[in-house]
């Protein structure tokens, strides 16, 4: 996998979890900025293995004229039971883009680590992998990989920037965060 985000924020670990993995105002705004629409989320629910699961459906806007303008997408998230509330969260998310070329060949796996570093700080790490459900022809594979990395890089660069803004707003005036 590739490491796309690795940064300490002046935001507590549980607040970071809330920002990223609940229907927070932050996520609503971020999705707006990314032109992600028609969002519908299920609630977190424990599965038979003891992990928590939820799924998200939405429409993404794509800025690449070769691919098309929009695609519906499904994101399946798993919050591992090894997570410790307020201290350590591990979330895996599998993203399936349904309406892009070769969509039946690949999906994206994002792994989010939120680690408490002090009472009011946490480290956020995101690893990403492009996974293949079936082996495409070499040229197609490099096409998929190239287009995926650039889109993912852009997304996480913006997520980092928006989180830094949120952090600045939360911490100005010495409010409790």
Q: Single out the residue of 5, 79, 100, 170 in contact with ligand YK8 (rule: CB under 6 A).
A: 100
159 lies in the site for ligand YK8, by CB under 6 A:
no
Give 82: exposed, middle or buried? Use CB within 10 Å, 0-12, 13-18, 19+. exposed
In the complex, least distance from residue 171 CB atom to ligand YK8, rounded to whole angstroms: 25
159 with 5: CB under 8 angstroms?
yes
The piece of 17-25, 67-75, 117-125, 164-172 that touches ligand YK8 (CB under 6 A) is 67-75
Which is nearer to ligand YK8, 14 or 72 (by Cβ)? 72
Q: Which of 36, 13, 22 is nearest to 155 (CA)?
A: 36
Binding residue for ligand YK8, selected from 52, 62, 115, 164, defined by CB under 6 A:
62
CB 105 → ligand YK8: shortest distance, Å?
Answer: 8
Instruction: State the Cα–Cα distance between residues 90 and 82, nearest whole angstrom.
Output: 8
Among 19, 20, 114, 152, binds ligand YK8 (CB under 6 A): 152
DSSP run (H or E) holding 103: none
Residue 70 touches ligand YK8, criterion: CB under 6 A: no
Of the candidates 103, 148, 127, 112, the residue with the CA atom closest to the CA atom of residue 17: 112
Residue 78 in contact with ligand YK8, rule: CB under 6 A: no
Beta strands in the chain (DSSP E): 2-9, 37-41, 45-46, 52-61, 70-79, 88-97, 106-118, 121-132
Is residue 16 within 8 A of residue 124, CB to CB? The reply is yes
77 touching ligand YK8, by CB under 6 A: no
For ligand YK8, which stretch binds (CB under 6 A), given 18-26, 46-54, 142-150, 160-168? 142-150
Binding site for ligand YK8 (CB under 6 A): 60, 62, 67, 73, 75, 95, 97, 100-102, 108, 110, 143-144, 147-148, 151-152, 155
């Amino acid at each position: 996998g590739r490491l796309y985000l690795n940064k300490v924020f002046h935001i507590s670990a549980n607040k970071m979890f809330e920002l990223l993995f609940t229907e927070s105002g932050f996520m609503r705004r971020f999705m707006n900025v990314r032109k992600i629409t028609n969002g519908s989320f299920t609630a977190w629910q424990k599965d038979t293995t003891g992990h928590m699961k939820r799924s998200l459906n939405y429409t993404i806007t794509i800025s690449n004229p070769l691919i098309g303008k929009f695609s519906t997408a499904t994101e399946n998230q798993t919050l591992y039971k090894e997570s410790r509330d307020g201290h350590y969260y591990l979330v895996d998310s599998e993203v399936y883009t349904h309406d892009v070329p070769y969509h039946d060949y690949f999906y994206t796996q994002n792994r989010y680590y939120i680690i408490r570093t002090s009472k009011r700080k946490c480290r956020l790490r995101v690893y990403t992998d492009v996974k293949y459900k079936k082996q495409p022809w070499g040229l197609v594979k490099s096409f998929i990989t190239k287009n995926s990395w650039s889109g993912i890089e852009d997304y996480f660069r913006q997520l980092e920037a928006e989180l830094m803004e949120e952090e600045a707003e939360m911490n100005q005036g010495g409010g409790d965060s």
